[in-house]
Amino acid sequence: MKIAFIGGGNMGEAILAALLDKGLSSPQDISVGDISQPRRQHLQQKYGVTVVADNRQALKNATVIILAIKPQNLAQVMAELKGQLKPTQLALSIIAGAKLKTLCQGLKHNRVVRAMPNTPAQIGEGLTIWTATQEVTARQRKWAASILGAMGKEICVEDEKYIDMATAVSGSGPAYFFLFVEALVEAAINIGFSREMARVLVLETMLGAGHLIQKSGQEPSELRRMVTSPGGTTAEALLEFEKGKFSDLVKKAISAAYRRARILGGEQP
């Protein structure tokens, strides 16, 4: 599979590294277009791929073009690439907020996949939600699934509305867990642990709890009840969360992220 990357940012590099690691492509079949000379040099030296400053040159012989630029650069790049893609090429976008309609019109191309990966993709533990235009062939869908699956799990949805929803939940989700870890570490330090010990306790607990949910086959609510003895320490802590309306706060946060994702995509708030 010959692949061209437009933009060589962190997530683009995560995909590139995953493709090479899984053997889905080879360095000689990958080209990267990026305006940053230091970034091009880094990618060429680390992965042995072809790097160019001209995006149009990067996509010439590719079967899949991965758009991995920042949202604020989208208009400029689309103007540069408009009408340049061959009808048989697949454009795969990981640009936050960029809707299929915007991409198709801006590129003057109708075979487009829109995907929302999350940051754990950088270590092969990601989750990517994606969708495609009707013109994308079955073979190209398999290409998209294999590319995105190289970074972890991938889920294809037929309705694009789920992409903005996923942006609020799984796309931004890692940051919510990072915030909770930060707070839990600080709380542990507050009662007397060293920062190093607090960090070990919190991280191992979070990882273990996540694996337990995944492997036990039980609902989180059931697992929570199992570990909560009436009048015990866990019950006391959970009561404080309830007083602070923790569940309501989470719902408000997700709704705010979802609303912002829709606005970034050009919808009215």
* Residue percentage of the chain with pLDDT more than 70: 99
Distance CA 215, CA 212 (A): 5
Partners of 90 in beta bridges: 64
- The CATH fold of domain 3-158: Rossmann fold (3.40.50)
Mean pLDDT, rounded, for 77-87: 94
Distance CA 129, CA 157 (A): 7
| pLDDT bucket at 93, cuts 50 / 70 / 90 | very high
Q: At what angle do helices 195-216 and 173-190 cross, to 10 degrees?
A: 130
Give the angle subtended at the CA of 20 by the CAs of 51 and 26, to the nearest 5°: 65
Residue range(s) occupied by CATH 1.10.3730.10 in the chain? 173-264
* Tokens matching residue 29: 């079949």
Higher pLDDT, 185 or 122: 185
Q: Which CATH number fits domain 173-264: 2.20.130.10, 3.40.50.170, 1.10.3730.10, 3.10.20.30?
A: 1.10.3730.10
Q: Which residue has the tokens 């992220």?
A: 257
pLDDT digits (tens, 9 = 90+) for 201-215: 999 999 999 999 999
Asked if 160 and 103 count as a contact pair (C-beta separation under 8 A), the reply is no
Distance CA 263, CA 254 (A): 14
| pLDDT over 70 at 269, yes or no | no
Q: Structure pTM?
A: 0.88
| pLDDT over 90 at 250, yes or no | yes
Closest CA to 99 of 77, 128, 132: 132
pLDDT digits (tens, 9 = 90+) for 7-66: 878 899 999 999 999 999 999 999 999 988 999 999 999 999 999 999 999 998 899 999
Residues 6 or more apart from 198 whose CB is under 8 A from it? 185, 186, 188, 189
Partners of 126 in beta bridges: 152
Distance CA 96, CA 11 (A): 11
Quote the mean pLDDT of the chain.
Answer: 94
| pLDDT over 90 at 265, yes or no | no
Residue range(s) occupied by CATH 3.40.50.720 in the chain? 3-158
Q: Rounded to an integer, what is the distance from CA 114 to the centroid of its chain?
A: 11
* Residue percentage of the chain with pLDDT more than 90: 90
